[in-house]
Structure formats: structure tokens, C-alpha cells
Amino acid sequence: MTFEPEIAAFCCNWCGYAAADQAGAAKLEYPAGVKVIRLMCTGMMDPYYVLRAFERGFDGVIVIGCHLGACHYKSGNVQAQDQVKRVGQVLRALGLGESRLMMTAASAAEGSVFADTANAFVEKVRKLGPSPLREVVAQ
Amino acid sequence: MSRPGTKRKVGVFICHCGGNISDVVDVKAVREFAGAQDDVVLATDFRFMCSNEGQERLQKEIKEKGLDGVVVACCTPKMYEELFRSKAEEAGMNPYLLEIANIREQCSYAHRHEPQKATAKAMRIVKGQVEKVRKLRPLEVKTAPIHPGVAVIGGGISGIHASILLANLGHKVTLIEKSPTIGGNMARSVKTFPTDDCAMCTLSPKMNEVYNHPGIDLLTYAEVKDAKRSPGKFTLTVEKKPRFVTDACIGCNRCTERCPVSTAKSPIQVSSEWDQGLAKRKAIYLPFPQALPQLWTIDADHCFYFQRGGACRVCQMVCPAEAIDYTMKPETVGLEVGAVIVATGWKEYDPTPLGYLGFGRHPDVLTQMQVARMLDYMGPTKGVVSRPSDGKPAETIVMVQCVGSRGAPGDPDTHEYCSRVCCMVAVKHASLIKKARPAAEIYILYNDLRAYGKGFEEYYAHSMELGVKYVRGLPGKVHTDGGKLRVDVDDMLTGRRLQIPADVVVLSAAMEPAPIDSILSSLHLDKTPDGFIKEYHAKINPTETAVKGVFIAGCAQGPKDITDSIAQAGSAAMSAAVFLGSGEMTLNPLVAEVDPALCRACDRCTEVCEFDAVRVDPDRLVAVVDETSCEGCGKCTVVCPTGAIGVRQFRKPQIVATIDALAPVAVSP
């Protein structure tokens, strides 16, 4: 069976989540392995959620917020960037590597950015192969 | 899975969306899957959950089954979350126990060529929301009474218009103006386009209406120093500057006539703000004849009494009304209101940084606001546009458009935006000059001439009939060699280079927001990158802001002409009236909450909060959230070292439950 990456996409309510809606409304397609988790702001993105997602077998995590300067809550996305960077270092220390984690921005109107990002990230993770944690957790 | 005694009754309603979902997702399979989840006592599907029939089904099941949790699997929550929550509330369930599972935009639409995968994903999405709902607690929706009264900041045409409307509706209005008189920039504008109405003739009756309105308190020469928010109320601290002239003033003008400041031999000279620096004024003055209130003001920074240790008391000696009081002190006024309208307006861009245009280097290079003053028959040149260098009427006048507007992105000396009014201001001034002196030669050098408003194109065409010459091209340089002005411009339409000797060069300088950073920060308002106040939504909420109860009117929000300022002021007044009239405001319950047992008062939440919504109570040593200020972004929840602070409905266990449910590997906890 071919490997279908499972991706946890943490999206802020105002931009990332709205972009995902916009992608769907525009009938843009991306793999069904991408699962959206709605946060009000990426500012509430706790590094623990990233670790939890990998622990539960996701192959990659993507965080999608507003563009810099356009955060609905002023600068929640800036805090999120810092947190994602920090947890990336943890992933590296764990041997999982940082390339399974990424943060980007898509405005509410940028459905195509969401779809393109999702497609590109799935392909990247597909090349990396299944998360080594998946098997460990499944046992 | 659940502990005894915590059993929930969750209902799952799956919508077909008339095929939008059910053509891709196997709704029956999702229903069966949902029905097998813990705590789910009902799983059902229907063609259109958003229809009346669908809503009735939802309400019937909530009542009959006594549901304390609902998942509606349908389109994005941005469509019908509010509707379903209100319907659930009508049926007796706490509305915040209902969640939407988005299986249309984020499933059936996006994976329509992979029905099996879409069905599997829909199951996980539904499970994710079921697990979240199982962890949700009912939320109480709090309301706060809205304090009566509204403060309008800024006494230009926008603030004046909004104040009158609100006062006529019966609201108590306090209009705060920082200069000694109301009237703002419109009062200086002489005539208004495209009708050439006398600006003061249309403005002055409105100024009088404000001044005499029993429902409007007018605070002039007063500035907002601070603003505090609490539920339903703004507490403003307003500082009234001392005028050193009491209400006894009878307006006889003897003090101004005798004041030695700005006389020929005086060491203190003051240029007139009203006349844009083209004339002098005395230290004790009335800004302009129609100023309201008709109270003279001493400018202490330029008065011999204050600057030379009491050396001069001429005004006090000549005043027949004994209205001069040198001992007046600044006065602080506390003001409690339910709403605030910010109408702080604009100022003209200072073209000095654009050295190639010669402004500030040659006296005969002017701005349009200065020309407006010259065109006033009561003004510094009695209505004739003249050369400041020698006072002679200007025979050749070159106007330059887009000065400080439409600059290159990132240029620190100019603005990227279009100021919208300068084209028509130039057309107006050129027409007025031509009508008065047909022999005058007037060139308008433009890039694009924007005549977008009602009657503007006709007005522009009429100016050409009057003989105003339009040249498409902006000048590379205004030469000032030998004291004579010459403008070099490449005419883009003919390809010729023109060298125009000019008596006067007039720069159509940009509109900039008035400097009000302290007001913005105390009210927690943001600016857009252009420096104007950020509206709630640029298209559909241009008069509201992200702060409930604060509205914006006029050029504080962006460049606009008088017509548009009036329209927006009316809209702001209406929005404020609706807000005040509702009597109470609903507080968003989806905000941060502190568990006092876990809080260590470490202050990290207060450090990251950008809304000043959380502070540590020094007596109890716990963090306290101000629910009116908190926006619910959750930055604090990430930095809290003990997990004491969480955003309702987005608490960590709730989000983790969703992650686990969506995850590919099922793990028993």
C-alpha cells in the first residue's frame, strides 16, 4: 500500500481556517490526510500540541496563521513563530528532525495558498516517509 | 472511557447539504460510526440541517433526549454556527455545548474525487468534535449595562455632524476639541468643490447648532490624556488647557489690538495657524471671526507676561470686562461614557523633505491650504493669490499634484496612498483664480487626474473651459536660481519638455492623519500601514473598530472629502446610537479564564497580553482577566507555566481531545 501522509494542520480561525474553507469552496483539491484543527489564533498554539500530534502518529504538522502584520489579535502569529521554532529544536533533539514541521501564512482569501501549501507539504513528507513514531505508538 | 457520573448525552446531526456532502461522503456510514462513539445517544442525518425543518429536528431532539452536547456535521462554522447555537439555546441547551464538524469545505469539497478517503476523514472530523464536546462545559453569557453618553473626539465637520445627530436622538454628547475653536480644516477651506459653496456659510450654522445644543457639552482647548475601559464604560481623562480668559469675555477685541506680540519691533513673533503661516497673530487672539466659543485665548508660549516674568499686562489693563486671569491652571475633567467616536481628522503633509520642489527654500512655493487662505477675501492677501516674496498678484501659477501621495512603496518621505481630494482641490483653486482673474495662467501638473465623485467630472471639464491648462507629468525639479521660479516638466502626452517660469508654485500636499498616537494606544486602537485608524472591516464595517463601543468618522479613518466625511459621520453616529440604545453589551464568553488554585502570579500572561486584559491582583496574588478587554487569542495560555489560564472552549484538554480523535493511531489513554 502506498504511504499516505497524515498531517495535522493547526489553523487560526481568521486566516488559516478561512483559507481552508476558501480552498474547499473553490473546489481546489489536496490529500484527505490533511486534517484541520481550528484555533482562534496561532498565538494559542502550544508546543505541546505539536508533540502530541507526533505522539499520536501524525507524519507532519503544519501551522497556518495570518500574514505578519495582519494578525487578528495584533501579533499572536509572531508568538506562534517563536514557539514553532522552539518545538522544532525539540524535534531535532528527539531525532525526528525539523522538516516534518512548518509554519506559514495564508489570508482568508488565499484558498489557493492553503491548497498549494497542503499539497507541497504532503509531497515533502511523503518523501520523508512515515513518521518513525507511528510504529512505536502502534505497538 | 468516561468516568461514572460524567456521562454526557451527545447528539450528532449529519447534513447532506442537498448532495454537496452526501454525493461524496457516505453519510450513512458516518452516521453509524458516530452512533458508536462514547456518550453519543443519537446520530441522525438530514437533507438540509440549515432549513427550518432541520432546525426543528435539532430542537425536538435536544428537548426529547435531553441532549447536553451537539455536533452538527455540515458546512463551515462560519456559516451556521451562530444559527444552530441560538436554536439550541431556544430548545433549552447551553449554546456553547454545540460544535460544528466541517465536512463540506474541508472534506467533501476538497476531496470530491476520493469518496472513500473523504468518508474516512469525515468520520474523524465528527469524532474530533464529539470528543471536544464531551469536554466542554456550559458557558454563562454575561452582559454589562452600557453607560449612557458618548464622547466625540475632534470638532471638525465629522465630529460636529456626528455630535448633532446623536444629541438629536437624545444621547448626551461631549465634544472634545483640542484647539480653541471647533470647525477644523473645513473652516479654512474657503470654498468647497464641486459646487463652490462658501465653506464657512455651510459650516457655521452647524457649529452654532453644536454650540447651542442643550444635549452637547463642548470642551474646547481640551485634550484626551487617557482612556480606560471597563465593562460597558469608558472613563476618559480630559485636560482643559487654561485660556487665561474667563467666560466674562465680551469679544470686544481690544486686547488683541493692544497686544504687543507680533508688532513690528516685538522680539516675539507668532505666525497664525489659521492663516497657515502666511500672517502673524497676537498672543491673545480669536482664531477666526466665526470661532466658537467666542472666547479669546492667551497663547502662554508666546506671551510677554508668561515669557518675561509678568512684564506685560496690557490685555488685563484694556479689558473692560475684567476677563483676563493669568492664574488659570490646567483643569482635569473625568468623563464616563458608553461610546466614543474618534473624529480626529487630518493635517496637511509638510513637503520640506522633497527638496527638489523648493518648499521651505523659496517663499513663493506654497501648499494648497495656504492658497485656500489666500483665496479668502478676509485672508492674508484679501482673496488674491499673490507672491509672498513681494506681495504682487501671481500671474503664472503652477500646481503640482501628488506631493507626498502615491510615492514609491517604502519611501520614508512620502505616502503610498492616494489622498483622494487633492485633484479636486487643485481644480477648485484653479477655477476660483480663473474666475476672479481670467488673465492668470494656471497649469496643473498631474499624473492621473481623479474626478471620481458626483459632479466632479463636470467640475473638471468646466475648469478647462475657464482656461486652466493641464499637463500630464510631474516636475523633475522646481528651479529657484536667481530668486525666480521655473518648473521643468516632461509632458507625457506630447513628449515635449516644458519650462514654465512661475510666480507661484502650489504643491497639492497629501492628507496625513492628525497625530493622535496617545489616544490610539489608550483606546487600544490600531493603525493601518498608512497611519490612519484601522477600521473593523475595510469594506463592510468602515465606521466600527475592533474595540466595542469605539467608532471612527471622517479622515481619521482615511483621506476623504467633506461629502464622504459627513456620510461616514452619520454612519458612525448611527452605529453608536444602536450600540448605546441596546442598553447592555454581551460579553464574548470565549475569553481567558484563570484557575486561582493554579495561578502563581508570575506575570507572564500580563507580559504577553496585547490588550491589557489581564493583570495580577496584588492582594490575592492571582491573575485577573478583564473580560471586556480580553479578545480570546490565547497567547497567555502558552506562556503560563502551570496551565492556570485557559481560553474557554479552547482549553488544552479540549484541543488535545480533537488532536487525538483526528490522529491516525488510536491510543488508549
Q: In terms of domains, do B192 and B340 share one?
A: yes
- Cross-chain CB nearest to B632 (options A20, A40, A74): A40
Q: Give the single-character DSSP code of B105.
A: I
Any domain includes B662 = no
Burial bucket for residue B217 (CB in 10 Å: 0-12, 13-18, 19+):
middle
> Contact A57/B633, CB-based, under 8 Å?
no
> Contact A58/B638, CB-based, under 8 Å?
no
- Cross-chain CB nearest to A8 (options B650, B662, B667): B662
| The three cell numbers locating residue B278 | 502666511
Q: Where are the beta strands (DSSP E) in B423-539?
A: 441-446, 469-472, 477-479, 485-490, 497-502, 504-509, 511-513
End-to-end Cα spacing for chain A: 20
Average pLDDT score, chain A: 93
Any domain includes B657 = no
Q: In terms of domains, do B572 and B535 share one?
A: yes
- Asked whether the predicted pLDDT for residue B4 surpasses 60, the reply is no
Which pLDDT does position A136 carry in this prediction?
75
Any domain includes A1 = no
Which pLDDT does position B666 carry in this prediction?
62
Q: Please state, in angstroms and rounded to a whole number, the distance separating the CA atoms of residues B406 and B349.
A: 13
Which pLDDT does position A139 carry in this prediction?
63
Q: Please state, in angstroms and rounded to a whole number, the distance separating the CA atoms of residues B34 and B99.
A: 14
> Contact A47/B125, CB-based, under 8 Å?
no
**Mind spelling out the 3-state secondary structure of chain A?**
CCCCCCEEEEEECCCHHHHHHHHHHCCCCCCCCEEEEEECCHHHCCHHHHHHHHHCCCCEEEEEECCCCCECCECHHHHHHHHHHHHHHHHHHHCCCCCCEEEEECCCCCHHHHHHHHHHHHHHHHHHCCCHHHHHHHC
- Asked whether the predicted pLDDT for residue B1 surpasses 70, the reply is no
pTM assigned to the model: 0.78
Tell me whether 0.95 is exceeded by the ipTM. Answer: yes
pLDDT 10s digits, B612-651: 899 999 999 999 998 888 999 999 999 999 999 999 999 9
Which pLDDT does position B200 carry in this prediction?
96
Which pLDDT does position B326 carry in this prediction?
97
Which pLDDT does position A78 carry in this prediction?
96
Any domain includes B653 = no
Any domain includes A2 = no
Q: For residue B497, list its beta bridge partners.
A: B490
Residue B665 pLDDT class (50, 70, 90 cuts): confident
Q: Please state, in angstroms and rounded to a whole number, the distance separating the CA atoms of residues B447 and B461.
A: 17
Q: Which residue of B has its CA nearest to A53?
A: B659
Element (H, E) at B575: helix B562-581
Q: In terms of domains, do B491 and B602 share one?
A: no
Which pLDDT does position B415 carry in this prediction?
97
| B44-48: long-range pairs with CB below 8 Å, 24+ | B44/B11, B44/B12, B44/B13, B44/B14, B45/B13, B45/B14, B45/B15, B45/B16, B46/B13, B46/B14, B46/B15, B46/B16, B47/B15, B47/B16, B47/B18, B48/B15, B48/B16, B48/B17, B48/B18
Q: In terms of domains, do B285 and B186 share one?
A: no
To the nearest whole percent, how much of chain B has pLDDT over 70?
Answer: 99
Distance between A67 CA and the closest CA of chain B, angstroms: 14
Q: Are strands A60-65 and A101-105 parallel, antiparallel or unpaired?
A: parallel
The range of the structural domain enclosing residue A121 comes to 7-138
CB-CB contact of B320 with B254 (8 Å): yes
Cα Rg of chain A (Å, integer)? 14
Which pLDDT does position A138 carry in this prediction?
66
Report cis status (omega within 30 of 0) of the bond before B596: no
Q: In terms of domains, do B202 and B221 share one?
A: yes
The dihedrals phi and psi of A61, each to the nearest 5 degrees, come to -130, 135
Residues from chain B contacting residue A45 (CB–CB below 8 Å): 638
Q: In terms of domains, do B336 and B195 share one?
A: yes
Distance between A84 CA and the closest CA of chain B, angstroms: 12
Q: In terms of domains, do B526 and B485 share one?
A: no
SS3 B7: coil
- Asked whether the predicted pLDDT for residue B669 surpasses 50, the reply is no
pLDDT 10s digits, B417-429: 999 999 999 999 9
Q: Work out how many CB contacts closer than 8 A connect A with B.
A: 135
Burial bucket for residue A36 (CB in 10 Å: 0-12, 13-18, 19+):
buried
Any domain includes B1 = no
Residue type, B72: V
Any domain includes B96 = yes
Q: Please state, in angstroms and rounded to a whole number, the distance separating the CA atoms of residues B356 and B354.
A: 6
Distance between A17 CA and the closest CA of chain B, angstroms: 9
Distance between A45 CA and the closest CA of chain B, angstroms: 7
Domain endpoint, select from B111, B139, B167 = B139
Any domain includes B5 = no
Q: Which of A37, A44, A46 has the most B C-beta neighbours within 10 Å, making it the best mutation to test the interface with B? A: A44
pLDDT 10s digits, B88-128: 999 999 999 999 999 999 999 999 999 999 999 999 999 99
Q: Which of B635, B639, B647, B649 has the most A C-beta neighbours within 10 Å, making it the best mutation to test the interface with A? A: B635
Any domain includes B655 = no
- Cross-chain CB nearest to A40 (options B106, B633, B658): B633
Residues from chain A contacting residue B120 (CB–CB below 8 Å): 32
Residues from chain B contacting residue A27 (CB–CB below 8 Å): 109-110, 112
Domain endpoint, select from B139, B161, B195 = B139
Q: How many domains does one find in chain B?
A: 5
| The three cell numbers locating residue B507 | 504643491
Distance between B278 CA and the closest CA of chain A, angstroms: 41
Q: What is the pLDDT along chain A (139 residues), one digit of tens a residue?
A: 689 999 999 999 999 999 999 999 999 999 999 999 999 999 999 999 999 999 999 999 999 999 998 888 889 999 999 999 999 999 999 999 999 999 999 988 899 999 999 999 999 999 999 999 887 776 6
Q: What is the mean pLDDT of residues B257-270?
A: 96
Q: In terms of domains, do B480 and B545 share one?
A: no
Distance between A93 CA and the closest CA of chain B, angstroms: 21
- Cross-chain CB nearest to B647 (options A27, A40, A74): A40
SS3 B107: helix
| The three cell numbers locating residue B417 | 496612498
Residues from chain B contacting residue A4 (CB–CB below 8 Å): 117
Distance between B111 CA and the closest CA of chain A, angstroms: 6
Question: CATH number, domain at B377?
Answer: 3.50.50.60
Which pLDDT does position B628 carry in this prediction?
80
pLDDT 10s digits, A1-18: 689 999 999 999 999 999
Residues from chain B contacting residue A39 (CB–CB below 8 Å): 634, 650, 655
Q: Please state, in angstroms and rounded to a whole number, the distance separating the CA atoms of residues B457 and B465.
A: 13
Element (H, E) at B227: strand B222-230
Any domain includes A113 = yes
Average pLDDT score, chain B: 95
Any domain includes B122 = yes
Q: What is the mean pLDDT of residues B453-481?
A: 96
The range of the structural domain enclosing residue B361 comes to 348-512
Question: CATH number, domain at A71?
Answer: 3.40.50.960
Q: Please state, in angstroms and rounded to a whole number, the distance separating the CA atoms of residues A31 and A2.
A: 13
> Contact B105/A20, CB-based, under 8 Å?
yes
Phi-psi sector, B555: left (phi>0), alpha (psi -120 to 50), beta: alpha
Which pLDDT does position B506 carry in this prediction?
98
> Contact A134/B664, CB-based, under 8 Å?
yes
Q: In terms of domains, do B379 and B500 share one?
A: yes
Q: In terms of domains, do B518 and B477 share one?
A: no
Q: How many domains does one find in chain A?
A: 1
pLDDT 10s digits, B511-541: 999 999 889 888 888 788 899 998 887 888 8
Question: CATH number, domain at B596?
Answer: 3.30.70.20
- Cross-chain CB nearest to A79 (options B77, B118, B638): B638
> Contact A73/B662, CB-based, under 8 Å?
no
- Asked whether the predicted pLDDT for residue B228 surpasses 70, the reply is yes
pLDDT 10s digits, B205-226: 999 999 999 999 999 999 999 9
Domain endpoint, select from B512, B547, B563 = B512
Q: In terms of domains, do B507 and B539 share one?
A: no
Any domain includes A51 = yes
Q: In terms of domains, do B176 and B312 share one?
A: no
